[in-house]
Structure 1
């Protein structure tokens, strides 16, 4: 199994190269984001390990650019940041897993093997509902021929609704899965639904009175005035 390790900590990469080699991995190393991006694009790797904080090109940018180039090699992201939003950011840009430093070498090996066992996914399907389109890989959103600029939170809300377009989604479910904040006022969902309607059109998100929201205009949904 061939691994590309992109991390600027020379001591860490040296130790990981030696340890992973003993576990049967063939390891190449890049110490900056530009080199890592080039090697990941041109080389044939089973899995990539990419640190977030890199010189010359940020780790998030490395992963985002790889996905834009339709390089779907599994990525394990490393970071000293362990906040839930940091983890979410890493996964949102296209990483498959996230491990915080310091970490257990045994856990790292187990996660790499788990990623290698997964089939390499094809390009994520573009999500559509009528004229609405969201590309999960690039986070591009459009309605008809018009590109729409959404914030990360607005995009996450739209993606969740599109992925559950065959059913009504309640406020509490959206609060839990999109906003990920235990004490948040449920009315924040209404606020962000309003943002989507202003940018995408009033009929983009419909309300099922007393139940929640859904994409589209299928009965018995009732668009808000």
Structure 2
């Protein structure tokens, strides 16, 4: 999943970004309101972690602008403004959750994960498909309850496909949600990761291929009725 972290305190911005990347998120960062709006308009994020006390454009005004062109993206406000009125103001203009500073990173990640489950209408942290299962909380993959050793990017690819397992997903869309915005869309990085993922799954599944692709269209989870891209 891809997250935009908007925070003008560079040490905190770095800490949140590093922490989320360790959990397997793709992370872009912005240090002021103007930059955050530019990024939100040109990239497709699954969630935004938004500070309120921002240079150039205040966080509340950033959120108002975002809601003009995107009603669905999940926004978690993270701010030193802890008064009830500030929380109400943030929620009233479209925030999905509000955390006051100082905060515990594990709670931030848990709340972010809960928001993303809501976005994709997941009621459980585990998603199953036949003998195959992923755990969105632990970021782990299981085949017949046996843990499979995968990289964070390999897990991210599979998680996105499983969340959208009723559709065929283009490589470009997967890259958009699993890698940060600095990734070269024309590099072989994606193909290397998805081929490695397929080989690891084949060790446990044999001929039962879970991840398949339709040339020129995209990738999908085998055995599911699909809509068009």
**TM-score computed with the length of structure 2 as normaliser:** 0.51
What SS class does the counterpart of residue 72 from structure 2 fall into? coil
Which consecutive residues of structure 1, in runs of 5 or more, have no partner in the other structure? 122-225
Which consecutive residues of structure 2, in runs of 5 or more, have no partner in the other structure? 122-229
Map 1:134-173 to 2 at 5 A: none
Sort the Cα spacing of 1:21 and 1:91 in 2 relative to 1 into closer, same or farther, 3 A: same
What is the aligned partner in structure 1 of residue 82 from structure 2? 82
Q: Separation in 1 of the partners of 2:81 and 2:71?
A: 25
Q: Would you say 1:73 and 2:73 are equivalent positions?
A: yes
Q: Separation in 2 of the partners of 1:95 and 1:28?
A: 19
Does structure 1 retain, via aligned residues, the 8 Å contact 2:33–2:54?
yes
What SS class does the counterpart of residue 52 from structure 1 fall into? coil
Does structure 1 retain, via aligned residues, the 8 Å contact 2:78–2:101?
yes
What SS class does the counterpart of residue 56 from structure 2 fall into? coil
Does structure 1 retain, via aligned residues, the 8 Å contact 2:3–2:47?
yes
Residue deviations 1:147-168 (CA, integer Å, cap 9, x gap): xxxxxxxxxxxxxxxxxxxxxx
Q: Separation in 1 of the partners of 2:68 and 2:120?
A: 16
What is the aligned partner in structure 1 of residue 40 from structure 2? 40
Residue deviations 1:164-214 (CA, integer Å, cap 9, x gap): xxxxxxxxxxxxxxxxxxxxxxxxxxxxxxxxxxxxxxxxxxxxxxxxxxx
Residue deviations 1:70-92 (CA, integer Å, cap 9, x gap): 34210000110111111101101
Q: Separation in 2 of the partners of 1:70 and 1:32?
A: 19
Q: Separation in 2 of the partners of 1:113 and 1:76?
A: 11
Residue deviations 1:102-149 (CA, integer Å, cap 9, x gap): 00001000000011111279xxxxxxxxxxxxxxxxxxxxxxxxxxxx
Q: Separation in 2 of the partners of 1:48 and 1:90?
A: 13
Q: Separation in 2 of the partners of 1:80 and 1:105?
A: 15
Cα RMSD, aligned residues only: 1.4
Q: Would you say 1:63 and 2:63 are equivalent positions?
A: yes
Does 1 or 2 have the higher relative contact order (CA < 8 Å, sep 6+)? 2
What SS class does the counterpart of residue 113 from structure 1 fall into? helix
What is the aligned partner in structure 1 of residue 153 from structure 2? none
What is the aligned partner in structure 2 of residue 193 from structure 1? none
Does structure 2 retain, via aligned residues, the 8 Å contact 1:73–1:120?
no
Map 1:103-122 to 2 at 5 A: 103-119=103-119
Q: Shift in Å at residue 38 of structure 1?
A: 1.2
Sort the Cα spacing of 1:47 and 1:111 in 2 relative to 1 into closer, same or farther, 3 A: same
Q: Which runs of 4+ in 1 moved over 6 A?
A: none
Q: Shift in Å at residue 32 of structure 1?
A: 0.4
